Structure 1
């Protein structure tokens, strides 16, 4: 048995699993570690062949607009786990969101009956393979076994001022847990480069496992009594809901959906790219993903959903105060007033997508199934029915369709999750799965330190003058 499997098995044997998932014998199925161990040599060889035979092949050109404008659409990153298409949206290992919903295991065990388990998507992103329910349950058991935080982390979180932003606290909590990094220790001990991915995987599984308790501790400290109660008989998302203080199977399903659709959005988004960049220096996964969290905390990235929710609530208050009904006519009138004043419509448009974001669509379908009569959902749905046409007529918006942020806040609000300053923390728990799945392959494929070439304004002018 290879070294990686032995370490994983011994780690599991050291802990007593109170979860019902512990009853699944992980030795009767192909484990996550075994699946990855079989894939790594083949992928390494393929990448070596690609570089050797076609390394000089030109795949794109860079314009001055792209150089100045944040490298938008420049093809210069290798990303295994997902791809974002302008027309069809995100694909996780080649599967669209509806396809994932159709084939990935669910909590009930009946494929397509409910939302996918986050564990099943984690398996898919890491391996490129759709897991069985037994494999997904074995990963649940392993994550539960790894979820205990170092003894100093919760006291540190308890000591932080309540007015400190939850994302700041999340980054602090994750960095504090870095004391247990297996990758950092292995590197210091001089482990061979070809074994980096084995130790990176140890950290990646632990980071994903520990983030929910860090996040829940922050939530309970800032908004409630500070008490966190686990239920390891549930899956990853269900247990996270209990730690947050929610005990509603419908909300569990929403959290499964929310966590799954926010995991990955190819490598160019700020949080994923930051994780990849920091990781390329051989910082361990704890430190690498803390970089991703800090990028996610920016107003142009992870804070968008709370801003959309505030806008929707203000719109509803305005209509209520003026005695207006929420209908296509009143929304159209308001939209034109907004646009003519030079303002934007929050939640519409995307840097890449040119159609309705599939992440919006699946949340809309969830709302139609679970909360069709919610007033805020009705408002969002009415906006959706008229806004694309208005923005097309306006003619100054590249993508007149809604993005993921148009809907997520409204769903959370319906279930009483009203602390929207905290919403980005939920995003942070989710995005770890995608960004760290790629970080595993960064180390398995031996990807180098990321170091693009910068140029000066004078150099750009010299190219134009030539």
Structure 2
């Protein structure tokens, strides 16, 4: 049997692809004619209501005299403003991610004893099955860490005798295990790639039970296992701010949809990972970093606002970077005036930039944050305001933490698994119908032709 090149697009495949594209192209006007809200968003950009949740809430506008008016963005976890949550644990010099996970899962802030017990529980489950790293992660390294992570999650089902049990206690146990294991699966997957495909030394550390999730990520990743307190605190903040974002974001909605079918936890989380992997979702911060890399090469004087503005204008007019006409990290599907996560993050970003000696880059980011909304408003018709979103700064933070780009999205997943778990539990507990939206068929009906009478599609 001859080997097959899986990445080769042959002439035959290209012809079939052309046929597929020709016969699958729907006229854009039909979406308006049949009142289809593409992307489940109406013409004003507002999401179509598809469910109810108690887990998190996004506020981007407020009703005044019967009309909605944009406002500074607010984010609530289980009814608690994220600003207050962050202020609470930072003022007490504590790591906040574990507390945030508890809040999302159980709907209330833990007491000191409850938090300690929950931290111990996560540490207990932060252990992979015997030889899992060798037999699963190391055996098939990939350049794509999200694929590696999804494969590892699905493989873990083979080690679970109750993988298909969807009772609340069992699903909760599975979710807690996955929350505990995502840092290991992500970092070990990177080490496998870095050794077998990139040709570097193989470094594997065991997690430390006394360390927080953020500390363990840095401890596991770095060959010398060293990190500063500020580095760990800022990574912890990133995990908190990414932990959940309403029920309508693509990966969380995916988790709801797949959970509604009655499938197992591992499949539901793998589906959510597949969604998060997309560059329009979890991969957006990588686009921001690469855009700035290009900007730093093209803009000679980073402090010259005219030069920066011209580059941003070129971006919008498809003359710079990837010619997509986008300023990555600016604008959000929901927020208009501000993204509260970006606002919270920026304060810490500046502190880290000072520690790392990268204030010149921070000033460039700040200039783009200021100028981009003005340029977009001038050159584009927008139905609402635009502002920097959390992706705008998160990639810069990860680069200052010396996290490899391959781990940017898996770190996002390591945080968002908390929200996915809470939403999966909510979907199961409320046991609604399988989620099945309708699609309007617009194909022209045709008569069946016998094989002998058919003409070529070419």
TM-score (norm 1): 0.76
SS at match of 1:70: helix
C-alpha distance in structure 2 between counterparts of 1:219 and 1:161, whole Å: 8
Q: Partner of 2:38 in structure 1?
A: 69
| 1:455 positional shift | 2.5
Q: Partner of 2:12 in structure 1?
A: none
**Paired residues of 1:200 and 1:443 also in contact (CA < 8 A):** no
C-alpha distance 371-82 of structure 1, shift in aligned 2 (>3 A): same
C-alpha distance 205-334 of structure 1, shift in aligned 2 (>3 A): same
**Paired residues of 1:208 and 1:429 also in contact (CA < 8 A):** yes
Q: Partner of 1:412 in structure 2?
A: 398
**Equivalent of 1:122 in 83, 101, 104:** 101
| 1:152 positional shift | 4.9
C-alpha distance in structure 2 between counterparts of 1:338 and 1:209, whole Å: 40
Q: Partner of 1:266 in structure 2?
A: 246
**Equivalent of 2:327 in 342, 345, 351:** 345
RMSD: 2.3
SS at match of 1:159: coil
**Paired residues of 1:220 and 1:228 also in contact (CA < 8 A):** no
Q: Partner of 1:306 in structure 2?
A: 286
Q: Partner of 1:132 in structure 2?
A: 111
C-alpha distance in structure 1 between counterparts of 2:438 and 2:368, whole Å: 44
Alignment of 1:19-418 (within 5 A): 67-72=36-41, 73-86=47-60, 87=71, 88-103=73-88, 106=89, 112-114=91-93, 116-154=95-133, 155-163=135-143, 165-181=144-160, 183-184=162-163, 186=165, 196-223=167-194, 224-245=201-222, 246-248=225-227, 249-319=229-299, 323-341=300-318, 343-372=325-354, 373-374=357-358, 375-397=360-382, 398-417=384-403
C-alpha distance in structure 1 between counterparts of 2:411 and 2:419, whole Å: 14
**Paired residues of 2:257 and 2:435 also in contact (CA < 8 A):** yes
Q: Which runs of 5+ in 2 are unaligned?
A: 1-30, 42-46, 61-70, 195-200, 320-324, 445-458
**Equivalent of 2:421 in 411, 419, 436:** 436
**Paired residues of 2:302 and 2:364 also in contact (CA < 8 A):** no
C-alpha distance in structure 2 between counterparts of 1:243 and 1:64, whole Å: 54
C-alpha distance in structure 2 between counterparts of 1:226 and 1:78, whole Å: 45
**Paired residues of 1:204 and 1:440 also in contact (CA < 8 A):** no
C-alpha distance in structure 2 between counterparts of 1:152 and 1:185, whole Å: 23
| 1:151 positional shift | 2.6
| 1:446 positional shift | 2.4
Q: Partner of 2:19 in structure 1?
A: none
C-alpha distance in structure 1 between counterparts of 2:102 and 2:124, whole Å: 17
C-alpha distance 114-388 of structure 1, shift in aligned 2 (>3 A): farther
Structure with more helix by fraction: 1
SS at match of 2:57: strand
What CA deviation, in whole Å up to 9, does each residue of 1:17-55 have, x standing for no partner? xxxxxxxxxxxxxxxxxxxxxxxxxxxxxxxxxxxxxxx
Moved over 6 A (4+): 62-66
C-alpha distance in structure 1 between counterparts of 2:179 and 2:33, whole Å: 39
C-alpha distance 89-209 of structure 1, shift in aligned 2 (>3 A): same
C-alpha distance in structure 1 between counterparts of 2:252 and 2:220, whole Å: 26
What CA deviation, in whole Å up to 9, does each residue of 1:306-344 have, x standing for no partner? 01101111111222xxx4242323212322233344722
C-alpha distance in structure 1 between counterparts of 2:349 and 2:304, whole Å: 18
| 1:226 positional shift | 4.0
Q: Which runs of 5+ in 1 are unaligned?
A: 1-61, 188-195, 460-466
C-alpha distance in structure 2 between counterparts of 1:235 and 1:141, whole Å: 10
| 1:133 positional shift | 3.3
Moved more, 445-454 or 172-181: 445-454
SS at match of 1:129: coil
What CA deviation, in whole Å up to 9, does each residue of 1:265-314 have, x standing for no partner? 11111111111111112222221111100111112111110011011111
What CA deviation, in whole Å up to 9, does each residue of 1:329-374 have, x standing for no partner? 3212322233344722111111111122111111211022332452
| 1:150 positional shift | 2.1
C-alpha distance in structure 2 between counterparts of 1:68 and 1:457, whole Å: 16
| 1:162 positional shift | 4.1
Q: Partner of 1:193 in structure 2?
A: none
| 1:64 positional shift | 6.3
TM-score (norm 2): 0.77
**Paired residues of 1:183 and 1:284 also in contact (CA < 8 A):** no
